[in-house]
């Protein structure tokens, strides 16, 4: 088989067994392999093939290992080993037909879309306040005033308590600042006309916004469980608003047939970021969400829906 010259067409039509018999034969060593005609005369030694014996240089020639010259080969008769390997790999697969019987999914018959919303609502802000009810703002106002009272007891500084109307303005301003961005939030009250925002600056003084920004709270720090205690919660400070929003998102919209589950890490501000599990309908409405907080006990945290 070693002296046989194979054309590209013959190699292409060979079976796996024929390939194996050809290419898995004993490969001669580097001193015994055939080479191109690029050797110089100095690379050859005159030796009597039939009477060759070991010399002082331990040179030995074996007649059975002397093969024909490669001068009869042409470039068209050669095939890249990479192509042969591809064909060998493909030949290992056994293709067969599989059953195409399957059970069709049940027809989706449940109602979907907005729900529990009154037809009397005429303004967009009324719809917006469905997932952000007054009870949420009452809670934020109470916790903010509680924190300010605790801070005042330590510092001796007096403060003006906030109320639900002012808190709604504070939330609205933060939403607008997310849409219209400036280098600093203080620039919305800037004396420079190019930066100053007339609408935002007319809603609340900057000093009052500063106070709210530094005192707004959602939970009582005094009651926060310490790390290692059974009720310890990494999201304790924002847990009330997460709970209310999660419940109201599901309350005011029934999911469609097609929903998706995604892990969302917007902008990823730090290496690990905040991983948010989101289940959303095909319209983009968020039906449910949870924030990943790491392992609980010996098991990885898994979102429950």
The per-residue pLDDT for 22 is 67
Question: Do the beta carbons of residue 282 and residue 112 sit within 8 Å?
Answer: no
pLDDT at 181 over 90: yes
Query: Are 138 and 203 in a shared domain?
Result: yes
The domain boundary residue, chosen from 48, 74, 91 = 91
Host domain of residue 31:
8-91
Whole-model pTM over 0.75: no
Q: What is the DSSP letter of 180?
A: S
Q: Has residue 295 been placed in a domain?
A: yes
Distance CA 208, CA 276 (A): 32
Output the CA torsion 31→35→37→41 (10° steps): 0
105-123: pLDDT as tens digits? 777 777 777 888 888 888 9
Q: What are phi and psi of 83, to 5 degrees?
A: -65, -40
> What is the gyration radius of the CA atoms in the chain, in angstroms?
40
Please indicate, yes or no, if residue 50 is contained in any of the structural domains.
Answer: yes
The number of folded domains in the chain is 3
| Domain stop point among 205, 222, 239 | 222
- Chain mean pLDDT for the chain: 76
* In a domain? residue 246: no
274 belongs to a structural domain: yes
């Amino acid at each position: 088989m070693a002296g046989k010259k194979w054309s590209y067409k013959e190699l292409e039509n060979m079976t796996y067994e024929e390939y194996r018999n050809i290419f898995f034969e004993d490969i001669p060593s580097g001193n015994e392999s055939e080479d191109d005609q690029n050797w110089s005369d100095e690379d050859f030694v005159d030796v009597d093939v039939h009477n060759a014996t070991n010399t002082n240089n331990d040179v030995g020639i074996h007649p059975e290992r002397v093969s024909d010259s490669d001068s009869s080969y042409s470039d068209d008769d050669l095939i890249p080993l990479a192509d042969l390997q591809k064909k060998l790999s493909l030949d290992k697969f056994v293709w067969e037909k599989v059953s195409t019987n399957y059970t069709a999914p049940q027809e989706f018959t449940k109602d979907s879309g907005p729900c529990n919303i009154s037809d009397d609502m005429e303004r967009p802000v009324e719809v917006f306040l469905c997932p952000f009810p007054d009870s949420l703002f009452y809670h934020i106002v109470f916790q903010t005033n509680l924190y300010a009272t605790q801070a005042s007891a330590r510092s001796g500084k007096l403060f003006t308590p906030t109320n639900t109307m002012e808190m709604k303005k504070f939330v609205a301003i933060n939403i607008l600042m997310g849409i219209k961005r400036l280098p600093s939030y203080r620039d919305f009250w800037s004396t420079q006309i190019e930066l100053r925002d007339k609408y935002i600056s007319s809603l609340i003084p900057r000093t009052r916004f500063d106070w709210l920004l530094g005192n707004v709270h959602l939970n009582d720090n005094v009651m926060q469980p310490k790390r290692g205690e059974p009720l310890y919660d990494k999201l304790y400070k924002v847990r009330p608003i997460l709970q209310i929003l999660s419940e109201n998102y599901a309350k005011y919209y029934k999911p469609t047939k097609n929903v998706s589950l995604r892990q969302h890490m917007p902008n990823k501000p730090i290496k690990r970021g905040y991983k948010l599990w989101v289940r959303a309908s095909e319209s983009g409405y968020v039906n449910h969400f949870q924030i990943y907080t790491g392992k609980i006990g010996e098991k990885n945290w898994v979102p429950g829906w």
